[in-house]
Amino acid sequence: MVYTLPMNTISHTPQDHAILSLLALTMFADKQVLATEIKAFSEAVIRMSETDILHPGYTETRAILWYENNKDDLKDHLDPQNFEDCIGELLTTLDGMQNKSELLKEMVAIANSDHDEHVSERALAVIAARRWGLEHWIRSEFKGCAA
């Protein structure tokens, strides 16, 4: 399956969608989205696009457009009734992905962009790290985090 943004701005695979979703979920896991987090999200998307982790061609505008077009659906993922299944589905999509630590690095950068390590933002990265056997990596990224 290939997802297409409105006006054919960019097409991306289910893996791209899962990566973008995890980055965005990190941004609003604490139920608030600040300008610094949106900036960190768009910068992360651009970096991942430039290194071919994501489909090439993302710009700040395209990253923000993707976020705006998907944020309402993604917020449903944070509902306690849906959380485990939705996050599990995203992580399953990425199980075969190379460079998982790069995705975790970008999630941490977004979580830290507002200078507040909120437990819900940290939890999302920890869940992903545990799933992928990267607990040692996440411990070094969050101060005082017992992955």
Please write the tens of the pLDDT for every residue from 42-73: 999 999 999 989 988 899 999 999 999 998 88
**CA-to-CA distance for 73 and 1, rounded, in angstroms?**
18
Q: Where are the domains of the chain?
A: 3-141
Q: What is the mean pLDDT of the chain?
A: 83
Reported as a single tens digit per residue, the pLDDT across 71-99 is 888 887 777 777 778 889 999 999 999 99
Q: Indicate the residue type of 58.
A: Y
Contacts of 88 (CB under 8 A, 6+ apart): none
**CA-to-CA distance for 27 and 21, rounded, in angstroms?**
10
CATH classification (class only), 3-141: mainly alpha
**CA-to-CA distance for 53 and 7, rounded, in angstroms?**
23
* 11 three-class SS: strand
**Beta-strand (E) ranges in the chain?**
3-4, 11-12
